[in-house]
Structure 1
Amino acid sequence: MKRLFALFLVLWPAFAAAQSWPVYENVYVNDYANVIEEGAEQRIMSQLKALREETGVEATVLTIYTRWGFESTGSLENFATGLFNHWGIGNAERNDGILILVVSEDREMRVELGSGYGTAFDREAKDIIDRVFLPEFRDGDFSTGIEAGTDAVIQRIARVQAAGEEPAGGGAGGGGGGWIFGGFAALFAGVFALAAFGGRIRDRFSRCPSCGKRGIRTRKNVLEKATRTSTGKGERDVTCPHCNYHDTVLYTIPRITRSSSSSGGSFGGGSSSGGGASGRW
């Protein structure tokens, strides 16, 4: 066992270096899942640009169809933190960047915060996700949810942090060692279960758009692999064993890039230590 663990420690840097990430086309909005309406996208970009010019805070929105088109990092949280740090979002000294990540097909999202934010902002991010983003997503209206949610993140997190204040409902919370240990154990168990069975679990509880019964079957095929210079193409086949419903949806796989020490080009070289909040619908 010790030899296996030592071998893992030796090989882990190579595995980490092989991870691939989406490439950003601009520093404000990258809608690779094509879920944001054109007018809404322009309004979001204007807000994010104004935020950056007025406060220096770098916030960016990324939508992707699925994160399984990239080399797996395990959980959504690890993926968001790795992507945030690879892009280098936020000022390198203040670490006040924000990543709003929406993965439409996987039905999950995250607001990843730079390491300069306190834990009160994690709770604020969770409240925004639960009350603003997810209700619209459950109704199938990604565009409205992302626009309203981004506005809430700007007003309740980014501008509050830039003013040196705490969220209105924030405050330091207490805790004990026991629940922390139990939480980590549950987290690791959940990560492995999701990595192995995530797709089947989502299919089991997803409703057929035709008959409304749960238990659709989804199969994804990569038609053209994404490279560093071009996007790829994939298709998702959805079938229902109850009513024989069938549908095929094409989606775009973003260009990929390899992990490096790059500060993220047009971003300021900020980093995240995993703060923020996630949501699923």
Structure 2
Amino acid sequence: MRRLLALLVLTLGLAVQAVAQDLPEWRSTTVNDFAGLLTADDARVLERALTDLRDQTGVQGTVVTLTDRARYGGTDGLEPFATRLFNHWGVGDAARNDGFMLLVLSANREARIELGRGYSPEADILAQDIMRGTLLPAMRKDQASAGIRQTTDDIIRLIARPVAAGNPVTARESSRDWTGLAAFAAFGAILLAIARKAWRRRRCPQCNRSGVTTQRTPERQPLPDGGHMVAAQQITRHCPHCGWQESRSGALPRIAYYGAAGELLRQERNRDYRGPGPHGGGGGFGGGSSRGGGASGRW
């Protein structure tokens, strides 16, 4: 019996490892058109839009097309596969978790807007509205390239940029007609999932009690003229029960320069804020993760 149990555990472990190894690696942090659904013009438009979004706001968004998910270990379903791929690549900033991924699977005839764990439940509802109102109608008309381009634009314009600016996302009027009771139930389920995730994030890894606090402090670097610059922040997590503490430095998307009196002089893009990608070096994804939020669709 013990030998059989050990064999089952080993088999399960190998299966999980195989799934992780099967996931595709990114070639670009903006557009990975593995299924060849995009026209050259639309691919260039998407690359520019996603690059501008990253440079101007620090938000990382990526578009991925695949023929099917089974060949990449995605036999467990669209949603877990999308979340696994998102987290494997580390889309978005690790501190803010505001990245997004638009995943389109041509042979499976399904798509997913995967959002980083930093987005609110309202963003999930709006993502579903974008999925139903923009992408799925285009896919049903065999207008994949235009649909992917417009869907990405909607995500950037209606979700990513408002959140980056500190504004709440608001569902479009069309979404209010179909949500009804189902949307209310989904909203409650999402809130419960977020609460559970938040509780886990606040649980101390040393004493296993909840209540870990996170403090972010800008790191000031003095300048010769008496002013200072801020290019990073110190992120400190502390457990009030057992005293456990960890600190790390995280780059900010923009460098701010201040005068001797503390006045803001100017800001510029921080080229060091993105973490290294799986291929090493700078310019990769930032280590973000998803809780499984977003929206799915099939045509």
TM-score bucket (shorter structure): 0.5 to 0.7
Report the CA distance between 1:263 and its aligned residue.
Answer: 5.8
User: 3-state DSSP class of the match of 2:82?
Assistant: helix
Q: Are 2:287 and 1:269 aligned?
A: yes
The one-letter code sitting in structure 1 at the alignment partner of 2:32 is N
Q: Are 2:76 and 1:81 aligned?
A: no
Report the CA distance between 1:105 and its aligned residue.
Answer: 1.3
Change (3 A) 1:138 1:175: closer
In the alignment, is the contact (CA less than 8 A) between 1:86 and 1:264 conserved in 2?
no
Alignment correspondent of 1:185: none
Aligned-residue RMSD, C-alpha: 2.7
Of 7, 30, 38, the residue aligned with 2:32 is 30
Report the CA distance between 1:168 and its aligned residue.
Answer: 1.7
Alignment correspondent of 1:222: none
Query: 1:175-228 CA deviation, whole Å, 9 max, x = no partner?
Result: 49xx96xxxxxxxxxxxxxxxxxxxxxxxxxxxxxxxxxxxxxxxxxxxxxxxx
Change (3 A) 1:8 1:112: farther
Report the CA distance between 1:5 and its aligned residue.
Answer: 8.3
Unaligned runs of 5+ in 2: 177-182, 190-275
Q: TM-score, normalised by structure 2?
A: 0.60
Alignment correspondent of 1:131: 133
5 Å-filtered alignment, 1:137-216, equals 137-169=139-171, 175=185
In the alignment, is the contact (CA less than 8 A) between 2:129 and 2:171 conserved in 1?
no
User: Counterparts of 2:139 and 2:5 in 1: how far apart (Å)?
Assistant: 42
Report the CA distance between 1:11 and its aligned residue.
Answer: 4.7
In the alignment, is the contact (CA less than 8 A) between 2:69 and 2:75 conserved in 1?
no
Change (3 A) 1:13 1:115: farther
Q: Are 2:70 and 1:68 aligned?
A: yes
Bigger relative CO (Cα 8 Å, ≥ 6 apart): 1
User: 3-state DSSP class of the match of 1:18?
Assistant: helix
Q: TM-score, normalised by structure 1?
A: 0.64
In the alignment, is the contact (CA less than 8 A) between 1:263 and 1:270 conserved in 2?
no
The one-letter code sitting in structure 2 at the alignment partner of 1:14 is L
Report the CA distance between 1:264 and its aligned residue.
Answer: 3.9
Alignment correspondent of 1:110: 112
